[in-house]
């Protein structure tokens, strides 16, 4: 196996642990022996557990010579020891790195490896790796905020429901199953109280992959009824208000004007180790996030159906003239059963690492 194939395999391994590693990065590692055969594979375990390199080293049991990793091995002792030392001690003579570590705290791994006479190749498939499972973590390091993906389902004419309010189901089973996969890969799902009042959604991943993202309801005035499914025990929930309480544990007060201040909410979620979040609705909250420039990625599920009337999937996003349209860059088009999934990112949204600013890994 060549090193690019091994790097792509490492990316694949890291995709499988998305949604379980925050605040740590989802890293993948592939170890090769002197003949280029895979002898170890690993991905970051939940916080406090071993990093990808250590998992792979254990599997390789001393046979590995080359380590291919999506992110520069850490060089600090957090909740686990430095991976750079573990690799050097494990008989690795060459380390191949996708992206460099952007934080000052965990950085220095490449230098430490070279000082231990380990050869290090950097920047291998860097753009591809940075745009993959590491993208939200890199975004969080660069901006201090979670990566926000607005997901919606709409008809071909951009409607989220019919005139009488019926909306189940706009898209087919394949698209709906894909939404659950998307949910399983993020740390939090965010909706406005309007969606809770209209649909009473559970906002859980089904079937459960063993972990559930944090459910976040933006509810300035405490209008969510005690019987709402989001308040059940199937996952953790954070009720975000301007004052009303749903109990100390599950209430986050984000003082602002009459409504929850969204930039302050994102900062507060980042402080709670939310690295990636899925904004699931509805048109009012999505418009407000876009108006505040807080949407980084859009995933739209478009059904081949026309309604001609009924609520739009997006309300006022602060655009008054065509020059101010929110321009997006299409990155993927996938057919799911009879529907189409469009993935877009905001122009200028950096997926690549920026300056070292925030916390390292533990
Ligand atoms: N097709 C889809 O993909 C999709 C997805 C989700 C929902 N929906 C549909 O959308 C409909 C509900 O629409 P909606 O617009 O009422 O729901 P929403 O956007 O989920 O909730 C809107 C509410 O969020 C609260 N909010 C808190 N802070 C806010 C802020 N800073 N800016 C804006 N709003 C803030 C507001 O209530 P307070 O002022 O009381 O806080 C506002 O009324 C339902 O029919 C549902 O089926 C469709």
Between the CA of 56 and the centroid of ligand 1 the distance, in Å, is 44
Question: CATH number, domain at 46?
Answer: 3.40.140.10
Among 68, 100, 133, identify where a domain stops: 133
- Domain count of the fold of the chain: 2
Q: How many Å separate Cα 129 from the centre of its chain?
A: 14
Between the CA of 290 and the centroid of ligand 1 the distance, in Å, is 13
Q: Is 219 close to ligand 1, i.e. is its CB under 6 Å away?
A: yes
In 118-178 the beta strands, taken as DSSP E runs, fall at 119-121, 147-155
The span from the CA of 193 to the CA of 224, in Å, is 7
Q: What is the pLDDT along the chain (362 residues), one digit of tens a residue?
A: 999 999 999 999 999 999 999 999 999 999 999 999 999 999 999 999 999 999 999 999 999 999 999 999 999 887 777 999 999 999 999 999 999 999 887 789 999 999 999 999 999 999 999 999 999 999 999 999 999 999 999 999 999 999 998 888 999 999 999 999 999 999 999 999 999 999 999 999 999 999 999 999 999 999 999 999 999 999 999 999 999 999 999 999 998 789 999 999 999 999 999 999 999 979 999 999 999 999 999 999 999 999 999 999 999 999 999 999 999 999 999 999 999 999 999 965 444 333 333 455 66
The answer to whether residue 212 sits within a structural domain is: yes
Among 133, 167, 188, identify where a domain stops: 133
Q: What is the DSSP string of 81-128?
A: --HHHHHHHTT--EEEEEE----TTT--HHHHHHHTT-EEE--TTHHH
Between the CA of 314 and the centroid of ligand 1 the distance, in Å, is 10
- The SS3 of residue 336 is strand
The span from the CA of 260 to the CA of 91, in Å, is 53
What range defines the domain where residue 86 resides?
3-133
Q: Is 152 close to ligand 1, i.e. is its CB under 6 Å away?
A: yes
The answer to whether residue 108 sits within a structural domain is: yes
The span from the CA of 11 to the CA of 251, in Å, is 36
259 and 298 both lie in a single domain: yes
């Amino acid at each position: 196996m060549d090193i690019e194939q091994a790097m792509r395999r490492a990316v694949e391994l890291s995709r499988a642990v998305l949604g379980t590693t925050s605040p740590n990065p989802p890293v993948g590692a592939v170890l090769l022996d002197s003949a280029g055969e895979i002898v170890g594979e690993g991905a970051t375990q939940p916080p406090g557990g071993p990093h990808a390199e250590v998992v792979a080293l254990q599997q390789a049991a001393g046979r590995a010579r080359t380590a291919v990793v999506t992110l520069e091995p850490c060089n600090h002792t957090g909740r686990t020891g430095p991976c750079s030392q573990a690799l050097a001690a494990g008989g690795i003579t060459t380390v191949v790195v996708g992206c460099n570590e952007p934080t000052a705290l965990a950085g220095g791994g490449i230098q430490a490896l070279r000082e231990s006479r380990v050869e290090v190749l950097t920047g291998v498939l860097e753009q591809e790796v940075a745009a993959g499972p590491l993208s939200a973590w890199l975004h969080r390091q660069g901006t201090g905020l979670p990566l926000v993906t607005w997901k919606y389902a709409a008809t071909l004419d951009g409607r989220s429901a019919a005139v009488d309010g019926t909306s189940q189901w706009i898209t087919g089973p394949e698209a709906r199953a894909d939404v659950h996969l998307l949910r399983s890969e993020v740390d939090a799902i965010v909706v406005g109280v309007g969606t809770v009042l209209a649909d009473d959604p559970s906002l859980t991943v089904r079937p459960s992959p063993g972990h559930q993202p944090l459910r976040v309801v933006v509810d300035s005035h405490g209008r969510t009824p005690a019987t709402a499914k989001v308040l059940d025990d199937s996952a953790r929930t954070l009720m975000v208000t301007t004052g009303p309480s749903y109990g100390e544990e599950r209430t986050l007060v984000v003082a602002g004007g009459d409504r929850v201040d969204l930039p302050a909410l994102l900062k507060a979620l980042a402080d709670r180790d939310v690295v990636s979040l899925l904004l699931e609705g509805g048109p009012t909250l999505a418009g407000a996030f876009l108006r505040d420039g807080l949407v980084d990625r859009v995933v739209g599920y478009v059904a081949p159906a026309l309604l001609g009337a009924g609520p739009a999937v997006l309300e006022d996003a602060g655009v008054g003239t065509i020059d101010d349209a929110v321009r997006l860059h299409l990155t993927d088009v996938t057919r799911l059963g009879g529907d189409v999934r469009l993935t877009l990112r905001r122009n200028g949204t950096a997926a690549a690492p920026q300056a070292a600013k925030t916390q390292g890994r533990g």
